[in-house]
Amino acid sequence: MVFTGFIFNKIFSTPVLWFLPQVVFTAMLGVGMDYNSFYMARAREICLVDGECNARGVARASSIVGKLIIGLAMVMAAAFGSLVLSSSIGLKEIGFSLLTSVLLVASAASYLVAPPIISRVGRRMWRRKIYTPSLPR
């Protein structure tokens, strides 16, 4: 958002749309959860099936799923970036901010945030408590 504000205020001399933060936040929340679920599923599989719940398992998960997440981010960035070609300055702002945000969220989801947390927590990350309600007699 700061980068978008700087670009559009200084270069195009237009104010940022008042609803742009809400649009970007909502879109990136969905995209980030999607990418994070891909990574978490692979990291859980490597930990529980292969027994690698350490930094090596996390690195394996990042190397396998990271390429997929970055590829998906490139597709989303191209889709959002196509809004920059619009004649409307509002759509240009939305497209540019979503383009940069999706690339940042993709790198954060697959390389910067989840891997260090999972490697520190280890096997405890995947410990499962099964809830079995007591039946009335």
15 falls within a domain: no
Tens of pLDDT along 44-98? Answer: 888 888 888 888 888 898 888 888 888 888 999 999 999 989 888 888 888 999 9
51 falls within a domain: yes
Q: Which residues contact 70 (CB under 8 A, 6 or more apart)?
A: 106, 107, 110
129 falls within a domain: no
Q: What is the pLDDT of residue 33?
A: 84
Q: What is the pLDDT of residue 135?
A: 53
137 falls within a domain: no
16 falls within a domain: no
Alpha helices (runs of H) in 15-54, residue ranges in sequence order? 20-50
Evaluate whether 16 touches 5 at the Cβ level (below 8 Å): yes
43 falls within a domain: yes
Q: Grade residue 128 by pLDDT with cuts at 50, 70 and 90.
A: low
130 falls within a domain: no
- pLDDT at residue 133 above 60? no
115 falls within a domain: yes
- pLDDT at residue 20 above 60? yes
For residues 78 and 70, give the distance between their C-alpha atoms in angstroms, rounded to a whole number: 12
Task: Give the total number of structural domains in the chain.
Answer: 1
- Its domain, for residue 103, covers 24-120
